[in-house]
Amino acid sequence: MTPSLSTPKPSSLSLDEIAEQLQGYDPHALSAAQVNDFLARLVQPVDGQDSVPLMQAHGRILAQDVVSPISVPPHDNSAMDGYALRGAELLTDRPTVLQAVGTALAGAAWSGRVQAGECVRIMTGAIMPAGLDTVVPQELAQVDGPLVRIPPGVLQTGDNRRLAGEDLMAGRPALHAGCRLTPAACGLLASLGLPTVNVWRRPKVAYFSTGDEILSLGEAPREGAVYDSNRYTVAGMVQALGCELIDMGVVRDEPAALEQAFLKAAAQADAVITSGGVSVGEADHTKAIMKKLGDVAFWRIAMRPGRPMAVGRITQGAGSALLLGLPGNPVAVMVTFAAFVRPALQKLMGWQAPALPLLKAKSLEALRKKPGRTEYQRGIVSTNPAGELVVSTTGNQGSGVLSSMVQANGLIVLGHHQAHVAVGDMVDVMMFDGHL
């Protein structure tokens, strides 16, 4: 692997300049759509590429278009075992009888010549002999010695033949920059004979939790304190996306400790994510240190759960990094990540990923909802006997009930302008896809 060390391209716009571009921007009442619009303008993809062996490329983001150096398949070939023939010789009113004059095996061209009234036994993947364009599957052929009888009406010209370049044509794009290399994409590159591929380097994402009430694993319980679950949920979500995690643990609510943590994180990471300390009226020092060290906005988002969020850049010290400050409640952290952080990190990665699709499901229960905010309720999606998607909530929707995220397989997304939902109404659901 040949790494290229460089920093992410900074957006040329300040937060104030981005805010001026957004109609109706109000940091105290942002819609979910406005948050994603803002972040799409703020975040720029990282610079720097790695050339990696194909066996190590799964999950990476393609940095350059791949133009096919060959056609796949390189020749017309048989899609199954059977007999290759000329489709023009097929009869429609009675059986077609042909004489087999040889066998074409996969991996080598058959060199014989086929005359009128003749056919060739052929194996799956074998090159079609010159002049032949159709294959009758062996189970449809009636064979008597060298004679092959084909019933009328079971075959049309061109059946069971793969055309040269049917999958990929030489000189045409096989994959485009910005796509994630799935197992299928890696297999496609292998079919082109490419042993290495150029991908964007993995962004480095630093994370730490804040607050004097947060306990690290291994510490003794104490009154009023809770163990840090956010560190593990965020770590899992960051790594599932394919970013490189820099785990910085828990940072106490002390100005000097917070400042040192932010500077250390920004010096080595492309993005810094924190949880806690961003709510209005918070007694800790996190917001003040964020403001001191960078260009940061503090938002109140019209959503539930997960209203407070900080966003901006750490610009002081040895590095510059995207800053995403999340709320402290465990479910709010995960929902905010799914709704906003995930697409922001995908752009940072250079991944031109479509938004997670919203499916329609029938609600099995009535849901209370006020217009003017987007709500993300934990849901269990299934299929009823009629084959319809149906969804029910996991019950208690409190932002601290992390067990409900384990029970859920998706989020019920109730839109900004949506009101109460009755039993049987259709609702949007965002299915978990392994990143939550």
Residue 426's region, left for phi above 0, alpha for psi from -120 to 50, else beta, is beta
Give helix then strand counts, H and E, for the chain.
9, 26
Sign of CA dihedral 410, 411, 412, 413: negative
pLDDT on residue 11: 62
pLDDT on residue 7: 46
pLDDT on residue 46: 95
Q: Is 10 helix (H, G, I), strand (E, B) or coil?
A: coil
pLDDT on residue 281: 59
Query: CB neighbours of 10 closer than 8 A, spacing ≥ 6?
Result: 44, 313, 320
pLDDT on residue 318: 77
| DSSP string for 203-239 | PEEEEEEE-TTEEPTTSPP-TT-EE--HHHHHHHHHH
Helices (H), 22-144: 32-42
Tokens of 300: 């109140």
User: Measured between alpha carbons, how far is 135 from 157 in angstroms, rounded to an integer?
Assistant: 9
Q: If you search the block for the tokens 């197992």, which residue do you land on?
A: 183
Secondary structure E strands in 111-189: 118-122, 134-137, 142-144, 147-150, 161-162, 173-175
Angle, helices 286-293 vs 255-268, to 10°: value is 50
pLDDT on residue 285: 85
Predicted confidence pLDDT, tens digits, the chain (436 residues): 444 434 445 567 899 999 999 999 999 999 999 999 999 999 999 999 999 999 999 999 999 999 999 999 999 999 999 999 999 999 999 999 999 999 999 998 999 999 999 999 999 999 999 999 999 999 999 999 999 999 999 999 999 999 999 999 999 999 999 999 999 999 999 999 999 999 999 999 999 999 889 999 999 999 999 999 999 999 999 999 999 999 999 999 899 999 999 999 999 999 999 999 887 655 568 999 999 999 999 999 999 999 999 999 999 987 789 999 999 999 999 999 999 999 999 999 999 988 888 999 999 999 999 999 999 999 999 999 999 999 999 999 999 999 999 999 999 999 999 999 999 999 999 999 766 7
* Omega within 30 of 0 (cis) for the link into 305: yes
Which helix (H) or strand (E) segment holds residue 330: the answer is: helix 330-336
User: Measured between alpha carbons, how far is 28 from 395 in angstroms, rounded to an integer?
Assistant: 29
Looking from the CA of 339 toward its CB, the CA atoms found within 13 Å total 31
Which residue segments constitute the domains of the chain, with CATH numbers given?
15-48+205-349 (3.40.980.10), 50-73+165-200 (3.90.105.10), 77-162 (2.170.190.11), 358-431 (2.40.340.10)
pLDDT on residue 435: 67
* Omega within 30 of 0 (cis) for the link into 73: yes
Q: What is the 3-state secondary structure (H, E, C) of 230-277?
A: HHHHHHHHHHHHCCEEEEEEEECCCHHHHHHHHHHHHHHCCEEEEECC
Tokens of 243: 């970013």
pLDDT on residue 166: 95
State the amino acid at position 166 in one-letter form.
E
